[in-house]
Amino acid sequence: MSKLQNKQKLLIIEDDQGLQSQLRWHFDQYEVIVAGDREEALAAVRLHEPPIILQDLGLPPDDEGVEEGFRCIREIAALSPTAKIIVMTGNSDYENAVRAVAMGAYDFYQKPVNADTLDLILQRAFHIYSLEEDHRRLQEQQQTPLSGIIACDPGMLKICRTIEKLAPSNVTCTLTGESGTGKEVLAKALHRLSPRANHRMVAINCAAVPENLMESELFGYEKGAFTGANKRTIGKVEMAHEGTLFLDEIGDMPLALQAKLLRFLQERTIERVGGREEIPVDVRVVCATNKNLKEMVKEGTFREDLFYRICEMEIHIPPLRERYGDKLLLARHFLRMYTEQNNTQVVGFSPEAVEAIETYDWPGNIREMENRVKRAVVMADDKLVSSQDLGIAPTGESLNINLRHVRQNAERGAILRALTMTESNISATAKLLGVTRPTLYDLLKKYNIQVPGAQDQN
């Protein structure tokens, strides 16, 4: 490996060629890339992906250059969110420097250039970037992003980060998604991470309670409120005081009761059935449903005002078939859990079982997977669970996980998209893709992409 390949990359965006040369000479310990304007800078970011960028705030062609510099910061931050942008400004340009940091720059430095100070700023930026990269790698390797959650799918990891952010607040959340996707597990994680974790999480399934009993189940009742009410009984809402109330299958709540739930959510007080006393209740409400509440609002089967009250934050949980990498991860988790519980000698899945797990649609989602694996652990005759043990018929569909094919398909798709965006301008397409024109011509030939009327303008 050459010495240049070992060097850290530094992009310098500066239109003054004299200062360009001076900075390139001074930072010879880095692999220095220079750009004289915004377009060159964006092309360099695409091509070289530098971790650190040193940018002069004043860039051509704007008369004063500052607005062009701001535009450059915004576009680089969008293109490479992890890169650290250090802005160089004039000695009396403090306000613009602060504005640049607010737009996404990491730090700023005021001219005239002091080599030692600039060295320290860059060393710190590279160190912070390195720490953040290590943290990102650890997050990607993490298979249990939240306690009780097994996932590596990017969409699920994003949901877990959202849960972490929401947990400290009192925002009313609604979890939506198909049955068996893990809505209650995420609700429990939300409670565990909240300041209310030391108090109760009380759950009620709105679809499992008869309509005529739902009100007393939620709000409780006084002695003598109806036949058989021999004593005062506390409802689920009151039981959850200072904790979390989980309303599962909220879409099945009767319309008449929706109005009373709305009043509670607005006033945070309840009246027991048969009572007149208003009782204040401090509770965090989390809802879940497998129904489309927006469609129900249009149909008139769910109150619009209640919908907006419970959906201060709506989190949609994707079905298992859309969670890339999670099928086998979850299957192995359940396998370990049930082999320990049943003290069996099962050690894994056979190759055809692995293929069946990955190609099966799992209409019942995680709940179906858990049940099938639990049954398979009991029924397996060998040390490896087969697709027959799982009760999944082989589809005959082969797994397309050849990395070379995946990469080729992705490359070809990106080239076609870029050509469309640039109207077949070869130079513009190469810049957009972050490659040189010769490399782009090689790729066009490799993937047999014909470009009728292709332009090649500088």
| The last residue of a domain, from among 139, 164, 179 | 139
- Tell me the CATH number at 167: 3.40.50.300
For residue 456, is it within any domain?
A: no
Q: How confident is the model at residue 455 (pLDDT cuts 50, 70, 90)?
A: low
457 domain-assigned: no
* Spatial contact of 262 and 303, defined as CB atoms under 8 Å apart: yes
Residue 284 belongs to what H/E stretch?
strand 284-289
> In angstroms, how far is CA 368 from the centroid of its own chain?
25
271 and 219 inside one domain: yes
> If you average pLDDT over residues 444-448, what whole number do you get?
87
pLDDT number for residue 157:
87
371 and 287 in a common domain: no
Same domain for 369 and 299? no
Range of the domain at 26: 3-139
Which neighbouring-strand residues pair with 247?
Answer: 204, 287
The reported pLDDT for the residue numbered 235 is 92
Mean pLDDT of 434-454: 84
Q: Is residue 226 part of a domain?
A: yes
Are 11 and 132 found together in one domain?
yes
In this structure, the answer to whether residues 385 and 418 fall within a common structural domain is no
What is the average pLDDT across 420-427? 83
* Average of per-residue pLDDT across 351-367: 91
State the CATH number of the domain containing residue 343: 1.10.8.60
Residue 456 confidence (pLDDT)? 61
Query: What's the mean pLDDT in 294-313?
Result: 94
The answer, yes or no, to whether residue 243 has pLDDT greater than 50, is yes
Confidence (pLDDT) at 143 = 55
pLDDT tier at 1, thresholds 50, 70, 90: very low
Amino acid at 235: G
Predicted pLDDT at 154: 84
Q: Is residue 146 part of a domain?
A: no
What pLDDT, in 10s, does the model give residues 400-413?
A: 556 777 788 788 88
pLDDT at 139 over 70: no
96 in the same domain as 236:
no
Task: Tell me the mean pLDDT in the region 46-58.
Answer: 91
The 10s digit of each residue's pLDDT in 80-122 is 888 999 998 876 678 888 888 888 899 988 888 788 888 999 9
Statement to judge: residues 62 and 107 lie in one domain: yes
In this structure, the answer to whether residues 209 and 335 fall within a common structural domain is no
- Tokens for 275, please give them: 């009572």
- Residue 455 falls inside a structural domain: no
For residues 131 and 176, membership in a common domain is answered with: no
Which of 295, 318, 341 lies at the terminal end of a domain, its last residue? 318
The CB-side HSE value for 243 (13 A sphere, CA atoms) comes to 18
What is the tally of structural domains in the chain?
4
Mean pLDDT of the chain: 88
Same domain, 352 and 418: no
* Among candidate residues 110, 139, 168, the one where a domain is terminated: 139
Question: Is residue 316 predicted with pLDDT exceeding 50?
Answer: yes
Residue 145 lies in a domain: no
- Considering the domain architecture, whether residues 299 and 338 belong to the same structural domain is answered as no
User: Does 424 lie in the same domain as 365?
Assistant: no
Q: Are 149 and 157 in contact (CB under 8 A)?
A: no
Contacts for 363 with CB less than 8 Å, ≥ 6 apart: none
| 174 within 8 A of 289, measured Cβ to Cβ | yes
Structure-block tokens of residue 217? 């189940």
Q: How far is CA 426 from CA 112, 247, 338, 423, 437, in A?
A: 40, 57, 57, 9, 7
The mean-pLDDT minimum among 144-153, 166-175, 234-243, 408-417 falls in 144-153
